[in-house]
Chains A and B, each alone.
Chain A
Amino acid sequence: MAQIKSLFVEGIWKNNPAIVQLLGLCPLLAVTGTVINGLGLGLATTLVLLGSNISVSLVRNLVPNEIRIPIFVMVIAAFVTVTELLMHAYTYELYLTLGIFIPLIVTNCAIIGRAEAFASKNPVQFAAFDGLMMGLGFTIILVVLGGMRELLGLGTLLDGAELLFGEGAESLTITVFDTENKFLLAILPPGAFLGMGLLIAAKNLIDQTIEKRKLQTSQKVVTRARVTGTDL
């Protein structure tokens, strides 16, 4: 149970693949123009991460050490192909919007990183949970960054929800403000870098505040040992 909890904290916060490990930045910066794009790619990545972590963990004792990387890549590529075909079948519009970034999930370092660093050394249940948490951590950042950029750039949230959730989901789109003057920078790649930097800064700020608070409480607990009459 303790390990499950630590895997949860690691994946979502402490060792978040996007804002701490800074892995998979290419899709992260490229597709987060809207919440839905971010969510779509995040879910696809999570699916691949989950599948690859489980498979790698299952075969970890059969794979010779020398050729483990090509084998992991093959496993990941197989899951990416599955995901791509699934998206082609069920969310065709989103598939077109995300374009090359779906096959490029293969090259997302977060996935091979987890296979190598965690799944190849741990039993299957932990590997699966780790994959899920890492994927969720990645997805959360994609969605938050997508939300920031969409809000600033288009003034909406969840624009194009029907791409992911099917017909009838158009009503999910929230128009926060209507403007002719779109803040194009937020939609363009520089906006992704700026937003990413601000997110990392916010994360560090929260960590620092928590650290400071911990320090203060622990200082209160510590009582000074009185040493009288030392004759060292």
Chain B
Amino acid sequence: MSKLSVASSPHHHNGRDTGAVMRIVMLACIPGMLAQVWFFGYGVLIQALICISAAVLAEIAIVELRKKNTERIIKDYSAALAGLLLAISIPPLAPWWIAVIGSVFAIVIVKQLYGGLGYNMFNPAMAAYVMLLISFPVQMTSWLPPTTLTEQSFSLWDAIHTIFTGYTSNGYSVEQLRAGVDGITMATPLDHMKTELLQGFTVQEAITADIFNGSNGIGWTQVAIAYLIGGVVLIKAKVINWHIPISMIIGALITASILYMIDSSLFGSPWLHLINGSLIMGAFFIATDPVSAATTNKGRIIFGALIGIWIILIRAWGNYPDAVAFAVILMNMAVPLIDYYTKPRTYGHKVKK
């Protein structure tokens, strides 16, 4: 007769540890990253290398300082994932020190000073992104136009050269690389729309620019769809629940629709907001961080919907063209409150009135 083994709950377990979950999320980023490579060059791969190494090294250093079990903590891959998420959020040709400062900030200040994985209040990658965006606005907004629209094409070696020295091997600066075929510096679709609106143009006039094809930003649309594929894989693999991404997208769509109905020349259409910028990537990969998001299903729906609403509000009236990072951080702060009001009924107790 075999011995009856007694384990603590949960008794049903799929055998995945934290490391496995984190690895699946990293793998699910691959379609999106491939799309980024296709449309915006190899920069994102190099950023991923820099960010992941910096994040893991920072994690090793601080965990050693805190005298914790370094091997176990490194093997949960959470630092690597935070690094990867930061890498896909920053501009592909941002200088290397941007990636390093961001990764170290994410791990040391945002994650480990709060107690490490499971204790951090804010999403490390997004807090680091906001820190970088506020500190280095020039580098953090130097997005490249999609390769189909650029004047200069550049190779993998050029990307490496630019990230580490600021110039390609032929001596072009990032500023020159950003020029489109007509020599005018290209912005991201949302950035372009923001600038045009500030100058008194309407949305309809703004989306006639080269970077747009209808309401879809060239390159950005495909990247968003690729991340959507990765996100659906995550839901299918039961790594994330549908609650946050779906409620976040619906929240954003409803808010955008209301604004669009009020004045369609000042506010972009819901589709434009959905497909441009990082809404989809954020919905599946950023907001679903199990540590800093709400913990009950009801809470997750509120959390996601409010992020979606914030994104559209900040995009419409804020100073920055995109808002996923700001919205996520704002709602991270509200998570304790959401969790308090969506506490599930304890088994055997009646619902309090």
Q: Which residues of A contact B (CB under 8 A)?
A: 181-186, 188, 190, 194
B262 at the interface (CB under 8 A from A): no
Q: Please, how many residues of chain B have a CB less than 8 angstroms from a CB on the other chain? A: 8
Cβ–Cβ < 8 Å partners of B137 in chain A = 184
B229 to chain A, nearest CB (A): 35
* Interchain residue pairs with CB less than 8 A apart (18): A181-B136, A181-B138, A181-B139, A182-B135, A183-B135, A183-B136, A184-B134, A184-B135, A184-B136, A184-B137, A185-B131, A185-B134, A185-B135, A186-B135, A188-B134, A190-B131, A190-B134, A194-B109
Minimal beta-carbon separation of B327 from chain A (angstroms): 17
List the B side residues contacting A182 at CB < 8 Å. 135
* B residues in contact with A188, CB < 8 Å: 134
Task: Quote the shortest CB–CB distance from B296 to chain A (angstroms).
Answer: 31
Tell me which residues across on chain B come within 8 A of A190, comparing CB atoms: 131, 134
B residues near A183, Cβ cutoff 8 Å = 135-136
List the B side residues contacting A186 at CB < 8 Å: 135
The list of the 3 closest CB pairs from A to B, nearest first, reads: A185-B135, A184-B135, A183-B135
**Chain B interface residues (CB < 8 Å from chain A):** 109, 131, 134-139
Q: What is the chain A residue whose CB lies nearest that of B109?
A: A194
Chain A: minimal CB distance from B72 (Å)? 25
Interface of B is mostly: helix
A181 CB contacts on chain B under 8 angstroms = 136, 138-139
Q: Which of A181, A186, A194 gathers most chain B CB within 10 Å?
A: A181
**Which residues from chain A contact B135 at a C-beta distance below 8 Å?**
182-186
Supplied contacts A181-B139, A183-B136, 14 more A-B pairs, CB within 8 Å: A181-B136, A181-B138, A182-B135, A183-B135, A184-B134, A184-B135, A184-B136, A185-B131, A185-B134, A185-B135, A186-B135, A188-B134, A190-B134, A194-B109
Q: How far is the CA of A132 from the CA of B131 in the complex (A)?
A: 38
Instruction: Output the least CB separation between B278 and chain A (Å).
Output: 21
CB of B339 to closest CB in A, whole Å: 25
Specify the chain A residue showing the minimal Cβ separation from B137.
A184
Q: How far is the CA of A92 from the CA of B136 in the complex (A)?
A: 33
Smallest Cβ-Cβ distance to A180: which chain B residue: B138
In this complex, the member of B131, B138, B139 whose beta carbon has the largest number of chain A beta carbons within 10 angstroms is B131
Q: Which residue of B lies closest to A183 (CB)?
A: B135
- In whole angstroms, what is the CA distance A190 to B133 when docked? 13
How long is the Cα–Cα vector from A181 to B137 in the complex, in angstroms? 9
Q: How far is the CA of A186 from the CA of B105 in the complex (A)?
A: 13
- Looking at the assembled complex, report how far the CB atom of A178 sits from the nearest CB atom of chain B, in whole angstroms: 15
Q: How far is the CA of A194 from the CA of B135 in the complex (A)?
A: 14
Expressed in whole angstroms, the Cα–Cα distance for A182 and B134 within the complex equals 11
The chain B residue sitting closest to A187, CB to CB, is B135
CA distance A22 to B142 in the complex (A): 40
Q: How far is the CB of B108 from chain A (nearest CB, A)?
A: 11
B281 to chain A, nearest CB (A): 24
Q: Which residues of A contact B109 (CB under 8 A)?
A: 194
Q: State the CA gap A182–B138 with chains docked (Å).
A: 10
Q: Chain A's nearest CB lies how many Å from the CB of B329? A: 11
Please give the distance in Å from A209's CB to the nearest CB on chain B: 14
Task: Specify which chain A residues have a CB less than 8 angstroms from the CB of B131 in the assembled complex.
Answer: 185, 190
Q: How far is the CA of A184 from the CA of B109 in the complex (A)?
A: 17
Shortest CB–CB separation between residue B273 and chain A, in angstroms? 28
Q: How far is the CA of A42 from the CA of B135 in the complex (A)?
A: 27
User: Which chain B residues lie closer than 8 Å to A184 at the CB level?
Assistant: 134-137
- Shortest distance from the beta carbon of B83 to any chain A beta carbon, whole Å: 20
Residue among B136, B137, B138 having the largest count of chain A Cβ atoms under 10 Å: B136
Instruction: Tell me the minimal C-beta distance from A179 to chain B in angstroms.
Output: 11
Report the Cα distance A194→B114, complex, angstroms. 13
Bound Cα distance A185, B132 (Å): 8
Residues of A with C-beta under 8 A to B139: 181
- Tell me the bound Cα distance from A185 to B135 in angstroms: 5
Q: In the bound complex, how far is the Cα of B110 from the Cα of A185, in angstroms? A: 15
Report the separation of the CA atoms of residues A183 and B326 in the bound assembly, to the nearest whole angstrom: 19
Nearest to A188 among chain B residues (CB) is B134
* A173→B135 CA distance, assembly (Å): 23
Closest to B131 in A: A185
A61 CA to B138 CA in the complex, in Å? Answer: 62
